[in-house]
Amino acid sequence: DTAVSQTPKYLVTQMGNDKSIKCEQNLGHDTMYWYKQDSKKFLKIMFSYNNKELIINETVPNRFSPKSPDKAHLNLHINSLELGDSAVYFCASSQVAGPYEQYFGPGTRLTVT
Amino acid sequence: GQQVMQIPQYQHVQEGEDFTTYCNSSTTLSNIQWYKQRPGGHPVFLIQLVKSGEVKKQKRLTFQFGEAKKNSSLHITATQTTDVGTYFCAAPRSNDYKLSFGAGTTVTVRA
């Protein structure tokens, strides 16, 4: 059973398009995250939700909009995609908000052409 | 904001040799975590250290938390090809507990 799953695994799209990435966790965790990993493997947090409530919103362009319909799901919608958005996006979850271990999904490799 | 600095960025190791990666912070950390990301994979949690001077072992991996809780190290003995990947340290910020990841040490192994 997959603990944290993401769809799609790969996403190739053109500049200016709008796309969404979905994430689901079946661990019963309260907190979910979106990370962006660039080509140099640097992991940067973008957002965090705790029980459907946004608790972390880093300096991310407002073209990125997360949405959590329930605590097991966290989606990421990106408007007007730009070349610089190309990266691997990881969803993660932890039992509760705080300095606890995080479980990562398999990642979505987004390529903007 | 708090940052964790990780060195080296790259580590090329002969199979069978040992190596160490280091993680340093200018501020005292409440805890430190280590993750491993295989090529093409996702970060996987390895361990969390909480106590000053704590040492934990997982088979050939030894994790250490400094006495001042400002640095940590991961030492791998007798490196194997299965050790290939990027190792990240991560520590929570004091103000919001968000995990701040180091830049990672990418390990390649020569057979």
Q: What is the pLDDT of residue B5?
A: 94
**Cβ contact, residue pair A42, B96, below 8 Å:** no
**Cβ contact, residue pair A101, B44, below 8 Å:** no
Q: What is the pLDDT of residue A1?
A: 64
Q: Which residue of B has its CA nearest to A58?
A: B98
Please report the DSSP string for chain A in residue order: --SEEEE-SEEEE-TT--EEEEEEE-S--SEEEEEEE-TT--EEEEEEEETTEEEEE-S--TTEEEEEEETTEEEEEE-S--GGG-EEEEEEEESSSSS---EE---EEEEE-
Region A57-67 average pLDDT: 90
Most B CBs within 10 Å, among A43, A47, A93, to test the B interface? A43
Cα–Cα distance measured from residue B39 to residue B88, given in angstroms and rounded to the nearest whole number: 13
Q: Which residue of A has its CA nearest to B99?
A: A99
Q: What's the longest Cα–Cα distance across chain A?
A: 37
B14 min Cα distance to partner chain A (Å):
23
Q: What are phi and psi of A83, to 5 degrees?
A: -55, -40
Q: What is the pLDDT of residue A100?
A: 86
Average per-residue pLDDT in chain A?
93
**Cβ contact, residue pair A43, B98, below 8 Å:** no
Q: How many CB pairs under 8 A join A and B?
A: 48
Most B CBs within 10 Å, among A101, A108, A109, to test the B interface? A101
Region A83-89 average pLDDT: 97
Q: What is the pLDDT of residue A97?
A: 79
Asked if A45 is an interface residue toward chain B (Cβ–Cβ < 8 A), one would say: yes
Angle value at C-alpha A30, between A58 and A26, nearest 5 degrees: 115
What SS3 state is found at B13? strand
Asked if A107 is an interface residue toward chain B (Cβ–Cβ < 8 A), one would say: yes
pLDDT-based confidence at B1, cuts 50/70/90? very low
pLDDT-based confidence at B97, cuts 50/70/90? low
Q: What is the pLDDT of residue B79?
A: 97
Pairing of the two strands B85-92 and B105-110: antiparallel
B39-78: pLDDT as tens digits: 999 999 999 999 999 999 999 999 999 999 999 999 999 9
Contacts of B67 (CB under 8 A, 6+ apart): B52, B53
A104 min Cα distance to partner chain B (Å):
6
Closest among A7, A30, A11 to A103, alpha carbons compared: A30
Residue B75 amino acid letter: H
